[in-house]
Amino acid sequence: MGAVQSVECERARAWVSLELDDELSEVEDALLRAHVGRCAACAAFARDVDGLTQEIRTTRLQRPVATRVSLHRRRAATRTLQLGAAAAAVAIAGGFGSLAGSLTSHPVPPPHSGAGRSIAL
């Protein structure tokens, strides 16, 4: 884990970044030079960032390698995803239907004993 930096070091490191893009005011530049002159860690940071920035800016750009995905494979993957989503939707709908049916159905009254009743034929 790195050491905790002072507020002055944090500010100086932000100024280093601004300086690389020519966005540092004259006052900030003077304050940065004074800080880097007395802080070895920030001086090393400024050298490292400057070197890396110069390397990035002077490196020739490369074209990314294009990868091709078979249209058939993409369609098959999409179809599998669609079928899975449809199956999940059917299962969820069935579950909600069962739940709704169990909440709204009326209980059937228990059968009465036939004593005392006569059935006419």
Same domain, yes or no: 44 and 80: no
**For the chain, how many residues are written?**
121
Give the total number of structural domains in the chain. Answer: 2
Question: Is residue 104 in a domain?
Answer: no
Nearest by Cα to 17 from 61, 48, 55: 48
pLDDT in tens, 97-115: 766 666 555 555 666 655 5
Question: Is residue 117 in a domain?
Answer: no
Same domain, yes or no: 81 and 43: no
For residue 76, give its domain range.
Answer: 71-99
Amino acid at 46: A
Question: Is residue 54 in a domain?
Answer: yes
Q: How confident is the model at residue 1 (pLDDT cuts 50, 70, 90)?
A: very low
Distance (Å, whole) CA 67 – CA 65: 6
Same domain, yes or no: 12 and 53: yes
Question: Is residue 78 in a domain?
Answer: yes
Question: Is residue 106 in a domain?
Answer: no
Residue 46 has pLDDT above 70, yes or no: yes
Q: How confident is the model at residue 18 (pLDDT cuts 50, 70, 90)?
A: very high
Question: Is residue 33 in a domain?
Answer: yes
The half-sphere exposure of 109 on its side-chain side, counting CA atoms within 13 A, is 3
Distance (Å, whole) CA 40 – CA 77: 56
Nearest by Cα to 12 from 26, 4, 2, 30: 30
Q: Which residues contact 117 (CB under 8 A, 6 or more apart)?
A: none
Same domain, yes or no: 41 and 11: yes
pLDDT in tens, 54-109: 999 898 888 888 777 666 666 677 777 888 888 888 888 777 676 666 655 555 56
